[in-house]
Amino acid sequence: PTPIILDCDPGHDDALALLLAYASPTLDLRAITTVAGNQTLPKVTENARRVATLAGITDVPIAAGADRPLVRDLVVAQDVHGKTGLDGADLPEPEVPLSSTTATTLMAETIASADRPVTLVPTGPLTNVAHLLREHPESAVGIAQIVWMGGSTTRGNVTPYAEFNAFVDPEAAAEVLDSGIPVTMIGLNVTHQALATDEIIARIRRLGTDLATTIADLLGFFAATYERIWGLPAPPVHDAVAVARVIDPGLVGCVRAPISIETKGDLTSGATVVDLYERTGRPANAYAGVAVDVERFWDLMIDALATYP
Ligand code: BDR
Ligand code: CA
């Protein structure tokens, strides 16, 4: 199996990403790290531990990372994920321990001790990854690729041009995109194809386990959010699509392109500038997700949820 580190800010869709990653026989989830994003660092860290407790995941270390972006003040997504960051269901008290080390140390140690290059799957702002590359530059050779949920080839969701994870820490995103490490950007243009429709939520609920009921309840909350804020008929499960790309690359079609992050624009800060038509003359530095096989994605996700007791 492919060794991966999930760097997340749970978050409804982060929770699904975590459950998909741990359940997949083609992945070996070696570490879970948390970053301030959807909510404050203490809240998203507690959420990661609550989800792990719910799922009985006791053999993956969890470490907390950055509590704020590299240079900016933190902006959270309370309107999307609620006060706790994971509103809509009662999750168990966190029983799995929090590592005494920091996210960057855990990432660096995990990478250094791995038998082969590790894939990083960040599903929040790229703050932790930027810190890792600054503090442990030797880690770079041990990273096979970075498959990030963030950005968009089209429009944003926080501002007209910026997606949340890019918007929160554009400086970090710019550093990671410019790092020379292979990056795949799974942006809104593709994640908005993977919607948890009422039918999908009903399929999950029919699994009948406590975990499935909790996930269905969380997705119900998420659905109400997406309807209220964006007028969408169903919520996209963004972060899980990034994990799916690592499990089965053929499931998420990507194109190679130069991608830069806008860090200055008054109206466009955090925009992911994807040069699909090769107008900038810049060398391609990344892949951008463009299409997901929706049916196969949901089969994969629901089969993963079904593995939990
Ligand atoms: C991204 O922002 C967060 O709210 C989600 O968890 C996802 O990572 C979507 O823009
Ligand atoms: Ca997220």
Q: What is the pLDDT of residues 5-29, one digit of tens each?
A: 999 999 999 999 999 999 999 999 9
Evaluated on CA atoms 246, 251, 256, 257, the torsion sign reads: negative
Catalytic site residue 81? no
pTM for the full predicted model: 0.98
pLDDT at 172: 98
- From residue 175, give the alpha-carbon distance in Å to each of 9, 96, 169: 20, 33, 10
* Binding site membership of 217 for ligand 1 (Cβ less than 6 Å): no
* Binding site membership of 187 for ligand 1 (Cβ less than 6 Å): no
* Binding site membership of 14 for ligand 1 (Cβ less than 6 Å): yes
CB-CB contact of 129 with 9 (8 Å): no
189 CA → ligand 1 middle, Å: 13
**Where do we find the tokens 């049916």?**
295
pLDDT at 195: 98
* Binding site membership of 169 for ligand 1 (Cβ less than 6 Å): no
pLDDT at 81: 98
How high is the ipTM of this complex? Answer: 0.99
Composition of the chain by helix, strand, coil, percent to 5? 40, 20, 40
Q: Average pLDDT over the chain, rounded to whole?
A: 98
Mutate to test the pocket of ligand 1, among 6, 7, 16, 38 (most ligand atoms within 8 A of CB): 38
CB-CB contact of 63 with 103 (8 Å): yes
Residue nearest to atom 2 of ligand 1 (CA): 164
State percent of the chain over pLDDT 90: 100
Which ligand 1 atom minimizes the distance to the CA of 236? Answer: 9
Which ligand 1 atom minimizes the distance to the CA of 149? Answer: 8
CA distance 55 to 308: 6
CA distance 63 to 45: 8
pLDDT per position as a tens digit, 149-182: 999 999 999 999 999 999 999 999 999 999 999 9
Per-residue burial over 75-114, b if 16 or more Cβ lie within 10 Å, else e, is bbbeebbbebbbbbbebeebebeeeeebbbbbbbbbbeeb
164 CA → ligand 1 middle, Å: 6
How sure is the predictor about 189, in pLDDT bands with cuts at 50, 70 and 90? very high
Which ligand 1 atom minimizes the distance to the CA of 163? Answer: 10
CA distance 44 to 230: 23
Quick one: 213 exposed, middle or buried, by C-beta within 10 A (0-12, 13-18, 19+)?
Answer: middle
Provide the strand spans (E) within the chain: 2-8, 27-34, 62-64, 118-122, 143-149, 183-186, 252-257, 259-261, 272-274, 286-292
* Binding site membership of 21 for ligand 1 (Cβ less than 6 Å): no
CB-CB contact of 117 with 149 (8 Å): no
Which ligand 1 atom minimizes the distance to the CA of 10? Answer: 6
Please enumerate in sequence order all residues whose Cβ is within 8 A of that of 208, keeping only pairs 6 or more positions apart, or say none. Answer: none
137 CA → ligand 2 middle, Å: 25
Mutate to test the pocket of ligand 1, among 149, 229, 232 (most ligand atoms within 8 A of CB): 149
pLDDT at 163: 98
DSSP state of 29: E
Q: Which amino acid is at 85?
A: G
How sure is the predictor about 200, in pLDDT bands with cuts at 50, 70 and 90? very high
